Amino acid sequence: MHTAASAPGSAVRRRPVQRRSLERFERILDACAELLDEVGYTALTTKEVAHRAEVPIGTLYQFFPGVEGLVGALAERNLEHYIDRLSRRVEAEHPSHIGALVDLAVEEYVAMHRAVPGFGVVDFGAIGMEDQGSIHLLDPERENNHAVADRLWALTGPLLGPADESTPNPRLALRVALECADAVLRLAFRVDPEGDPALIAECKRLLRRYLG
């Protein structure tokens, strides 16, 4: 089995290169996502993930150091898929102001929360978990939302514009906006498993006003 070394701080021990290994890798993450919906973060075990994925436990440990690595890799995959989905929407719809981009960003998050296995438990970090491991799943130095904000900057920066008197630090403003959105959208999905429409709309309004 050929693998590639992961970057320092990655949730993954080794990243597969060959197609068969890649398929196993993705199957393990799919199994992890399914089990997160069924048993939750705290009850997740590597043994059960390996069983669900139909791979030897040794194969799982070749890729992942443990449960935290599994969940971290899933968070990374979720973020990559989210950025890809949002980028495609931006390319197709060409939002001309930050309010329009806010709408797209919230809509894509809500769509993934509704449809992607495990997303409601992990999204881009471990939702509702406050230990150091769970808030640094994407990056050992930065909290999850900080890492996500940095990834989103490439899409939002041009519409936020340069620093001025009203927004002296646009990157910080984006990070604050993400923290606000995180809290309101969590509430929306606590109130309604499909996401409370009124709270989702209020989240968009809050972000438009703040970032606009």
For the ranges 17-26, 125-134, 161-170, 186-195, which has the lowest average pLDDT? 125-134
Residue 9 has pLDDT above 60, yes or no: no
Structure-block tokens of residue 91: 């390319």
Residue 10 has pLDDT above 80, yes or no: no
**Phi, psi dihedrals of residue 35, rounded to the nearest 5°:** -70, -30
Whole-number average pLDDT of the chain: 88
For the ranges 78-82, 124-128, 161-165, which has the lowest average pLDDT? 124-128
C-beta contacts of 192-199 below 8 A and 24+ residues apart: 194/114, 195/110, 195/113, 195/114
- The boundaries of the domain holding residue 41 are 9-67
Sign of the Cα torsion 186, 191, 192, 195 reads negative
Residue 4 has pLDDT above 70, yes or no: no
pLDDT of residue 193: 95
11, 73 contact by CB (below 8 A): yes
Q: What is the model's pTM? A: 0.87
197-211 and 170-191 are packed helices; what angle lies between their axes, rounded to 10 degrees? Answer: 170
Assign residue 14 the CATH number of its domain: 1.10.10.60
145, 175 contact by CB (below 8 A): yes
- Band the pLDDT of 130: cuts 50, 70, 90: low
Does residue 25 lie in a domain region?
Answer: yes
37 with 80, same domain: the answer is no
Residue 135 has pLDDT above 90, yes or no: no
pLDDT of residue 1: 40
Does residue 87 lie in a domain region?
Answer: yes
pLDDT of residue 129: 58
53, 30 contact by CB (below 8 A): yes
pLDDT digits 0-9 by tens, 56-108:
999 999 999 999 899 999 999 999 999 999 999 999 999 999 999 999 999 99
Please state the domain count of the chain.
2
58 with 108, same domain: the answer is no
Structure-block tokens of residue 21: 């290994």
160 with 180, same domain: the answer is yes
Structure-block tokens of residue 31: 């199994």
129 with 202, same domain: the answer is yes
19 CB burial (10 A radius; 0-12, 13-18, 19+): exposed
Does residue 38 lie in a domain region?
Answer: yes
